[in-house]
Amino acid sequence: MRALVVRLDSFGDVLLAGPAVRAVARHADEVALLCGPRGEPAARLLPGVDRVIVWDAPWVGLQPPPVDRADIARTTDRIAAFGADSALILTSFHQSPLPTALLLRLAGVGRIAADSEDYPGALLDVRHRRAGHDHEAEAALRLAEAAGFPPAEDDDGRLAVLPPPETGALTGPEPYVVLHPGASVPARAWAPERCAEAVRELAAAGHRVLVTGGPGERELTARVASRHGLDLGGRTDAATLAGVLARARAVVTGNTGPAHLAAAVGTPVVSLFAPVVPAGRWRPWGVPHILLGDQEAPCAGSRARTCPLPGHPCLNTVTGLDVLAAVEKVMVSR
């Protein structure tokens, strides 16, 4: 049997799909993962994925492309060429799977399962309803089981990635703590000056601090690291970052992809968690973690991309000393 798993969102979303992907792979001869371009690096790290199909869907993402009939036709043909017997469409609690289900129907996929509050008509064979309190990783696993893909009895349901490369030449000696200051949207980012303060406090307490970030974040990581941390901005791809995080005693970051990558390699997380999305659904999964930030702030649950309140109070009231105390508490479990 060939199975298709769909998760069209970002890097962290694809990592959270990992336990469900493993459950599907246990029952299928071949598994393809259909993901967006931002999720592709994570898709290539997941155990159980045999093939990755990348498509930038016009109904997903921060800057979705316009609807293009020719592009949709090409994507439908690529899905049809894989020849999936069954498909699992994974979405966040606020998203509809039905546009994707229509695409898969047109591609000839025989059996399609998804969580859907909306009436699916002929688009779904398994219409599942997720529990409102479920974490995203947990909800995906429940859907997989409802679709006939229960996980192995010895699978703990945690996030996982393929073994990362050795990164000692990049990081220098252990032990160290990682601080990742970037985020996908401004509402989820701790202020750079607060990040720099945390690096100073951690360094003053005797911790080696590595500051990570993508190629477009070099200016940010240089500012945050300053002379107190090691600036790795732009020097890690997804697999290398996994290796860096795997050897850290703790990772400090916002509600963004590296928090889930840290969880996937078993590293404790101190999460500067802006409440624009519920922590119960998006907190680091399966590892010791501490959430910092006001989870009852007026922006809670708004899914805002830019903070609607002056001064970003839900996060910027957190201090560098708060982070130091959280790091020293959470890394005891390492």
pLDDT tens, position by position, 235-264: 999 999 999 999 999 999 999 999 999 999
- Give the DSSP per-residue string, 12-72: HHHHHTHHHHHHHHHH-SEEEEEE-TTTHHHHTT-TT--EEEE---TTSSSSPPPP-HHHH
39: pLDDT strictly greater than 90? yes
Same domain, 97 and 197: no
Same domain, 123 and 196: no
Residue holding tokens 């032990």?
Answer: 175
Tell me the average pLDDT across 8-18. Answer: 96
pLDDT, position 312? 81
Q: For residues 68, 69, 74 and 76, what is the CA-based torsion angle, rounded to 10 degrees?
A: 110
Residue 328: name the closest of 155, 193, 201, 163 by CA. Answer: 201
Answer yes or no: is 161 within a domain. Answer: no
Answer yes or no: is 156 within a domain. Answer: no
Same domain, 112 and 246: no
pLDDT, position 334? 67
Strands, DSSP E only, in 255-319?
269-272, 289-292
pLDDT band at 84 (very low <50, low <70, confident <90, very high): very high
Could you report the per-residue pLDDT of 155-208, keeping only the tens digit for each? 999 999 999 999 999 999 999 999 999 888 877 888 899 999 999 999 999 999
Least confident window among 104-113, 209-218, 298-307: 298-307
CB of 272 closer than 8 Å to CB of 253: yes
In single-letter form, the type of residue at position 302 comes to S
Could you report the per-residue pLDDT of 45-55, keeping only the tens digit for each? 999 999 999 99
223: pLDDT strictly greater than 80? yes
What is the number of other CB atoms lying within 10 angstroms of the CB of residue 306? 9
Same domain, 138 and 40: yes
308: pLDDT strictly greater than 90? no
Which structure tokens are listed for 120? 């699916």
We report the CATH number of the domain holding residue 256 as 3.40.50.2000
Same domain, 321 and 173: yes
317: pLDDT strictly greater than 70? yes
pLDDT band at 153 (very low <50, low <70, confident <90, very high): very high
3-state secondary structure of 241: helix
- DSSP lists the bridge partners of residue 269 as 251, 289
CB of 211 closer than 8 Å to CB of 221: yes
Which structure tokens are listed for 216? 């477009």
pLDDT band at 277 (very low <50, low <70, confident <90, very high): confident
